[in-house]
């Protein structure tokens, strides 16, 4: 699990003013439309949709609540004090025991780990990535929920892709060949279109056409377009890529992680404060990813002050009063 310096020419290195062009030697020039997407076989194995008749299930559900916009509430227990543990909402499952799962126990299919993890590590932010081939001939738009911000100086983001470099997903191929992309944050106003961009289309097919979203070609540092409908977008340059060896199928690569550096921020002016340092969630209206085919809205929010050790804990003396007397959690 190295940084693949032997795979790239020139070697990958941290961005230092000049970004090296990164090319995968093993990726050849594709046909106009590849016969099958890398995602097609994986999706068949995962069986993501739990509903034999999804439209029937959807029709039985309440309509979208337009009035349920972003708002603040109190915490579940505004009178909670340090050392009090879980609040009254905590549910112990009526005494249910925890089950220990070995992800690689004999007979456990690899997709089981994927389905369990994406249903347990929630909600996840989504990187809606716009990329294009080095020559600009092939444009791609795809959502990735293996995504997060990991640093602010410089602004660094990680994007996880469920494919290796020998048979890369379209976004990974474009990202490595061109060394750049745009990360857009999905909002409620185009969630259906963004989901449409997750289609298992072959390389050479543009998800811009399938989604109907609007490319804007005004980026300052990258050639890939940003999504006009997105309230917040970030121009990014590739910093490094790392492949991961599969444990369930030794000798194969199960995924890759791209680290990208944000070079420009694009924020719709009605979402931005005067100091240009806060984005209003009521305008951003971000969509998150849960398990299976489930997405989440951000409507209810609460605020909590970060405690200060001296003032709130009471320093060393206050901490001594809060210390547990044994490993069982009693005081």
Residue 45 has pLDDT above 90, yes or no: no
Of all residues in the chain, the percent with pLDDT exceeding 90 is 79
Rounded-to-integer distance, Cα 23 and Cα 12, Å: 10
- 137-174 pLDDT, tens digit per residue, is 999 999 999 999 999 999 999 999 999 999 999 999 99
Could you tell me which of 239, 235, 236 has the C-alpha nearest to residue 259?
239
- Confidence bin at 311 (pLDDT 50/70/90): very high
Structure tokens given for 310: 């001296």
- Please, which pLDDT band fits residue 93 given cuts at 50, 70 and 90? confident
- Judged against a pLDDT cut of 90, whether residue 118 lies above it is answered with yes
Average pLDDT, the chain: 88
Angle CA(261)–CA(265)–CA(266) in degrees, nearest 5?
Answer: 145
Return phi, psi of residue 109, to 5°: -65, 145
Contact, 150 vs 142, CB < 8 A? no
| 326 Cβ contact list (under 8 Å, min separation 6) | none
How many of the other CB atoms lie within 10 Å of CB of 33? 10
pLDDT at 263 over 60: yes
pLDDT at 36 over 90: no
Cβ contacts of residue 60 below 8 Å, gap of 6+?
none
Q: What is the pLDDT of residue 69?
A: 94
Query: Which string of DSSP letters, residue by residue, matches 52-104?
Result: TTHHHHHHTSPPP-TT---EE---S-TT--TT--S-TT----TTPPP----TT
User: For the whole model, what pTM was predicted?
Assistant: 0.86
Model pLDDT, residue 32: 54
pLDDT tens digit sequence for 270-310 = 999 999 999 999 999 999 999 999 999 999 999 999 999 99
pLDDT band at residue 38 using 50, 70 and 90 as cut-offs = low
Can you give the pLDDT at residue 258?
A: 98
Tell me how far apart the alpha carbons of residues 175 and 250 are, in angstroms, rounded to a whole number: 26
Angle 176-115-156 from CA coordinates, rounded to 5°: 35
Burial environment of residue 222 by CB neighbours within 10 A (0 to 12, 13 to 18, 19 or more): buried
- Residue 281: name the closest of 185, 177, 173, 151 by CA: 185
């Amino acid at each position: 699990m190295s940084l693949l310096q032997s795979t790239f020419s020139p070697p990958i290195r941290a961005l230092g003013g000049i970004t090296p062009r990164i090319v995968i030697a093993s990726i050849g020039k594709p046909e106009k439309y590849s016969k099958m997407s890398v995602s097609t076989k994986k999706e068949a194995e995962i069986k993501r949709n739990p509903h034999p008749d999804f439209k029937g299930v959807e029709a039985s559900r309440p309509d979208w609540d337009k009035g349920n916009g972003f708002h603040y509430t109190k915490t579940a227990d505004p009178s909670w004090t340090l050392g009090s543990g879980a609040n009254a909402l905590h549910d112990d499952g009526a005494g249910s025991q925890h089950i220990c799962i070995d992800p690689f126990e004999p007979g456990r299919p690899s997709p089981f780990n994927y389905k369990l993890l994406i249903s347990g590590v929630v909600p996840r932010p989504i990187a809606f990535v716009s990329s294009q081939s080095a020559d600009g001939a092939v444009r791609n738009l795809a959502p990735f929920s293996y995504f997060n911000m990991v640093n602010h100086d410089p602004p660094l983001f990680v994007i996880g892709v469920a494919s290796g470099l020998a048979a890369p997903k379209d976004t990974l191929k474009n990202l490595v060949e061109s060394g750049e992309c745009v990360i857009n944050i999905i909002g409620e106003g185009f969630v259906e279109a963004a989901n449409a961009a997750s289609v298992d289309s072959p390389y050479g097919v543009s998800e811009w056409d399938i989604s109907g979203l609007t490319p804007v070609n005004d980026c300052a540092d990258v050639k890939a377009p940003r999504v006009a409908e997105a309230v917040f977008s970030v121009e990014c340059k590739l910093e490094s890529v790392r492949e991961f060896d599969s444990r369930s199928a030794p000798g194969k690569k199960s995924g890759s992680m791209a680290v990208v550096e944000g070079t420009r921020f694009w924020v719709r002016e009605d979402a931005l404060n005067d100091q240009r340092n806060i984005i209003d969630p009521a305008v951003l209206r971000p969509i998150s990813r849960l398990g299976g085919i489930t997405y989440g809205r951000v409507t209810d929010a609460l605020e909590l002050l970060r405690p200060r050790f001296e003032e709130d804990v009471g320093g060393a003396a206050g901490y001594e009063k809060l210390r547990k007397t044994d490993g069982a959690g009693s005081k």
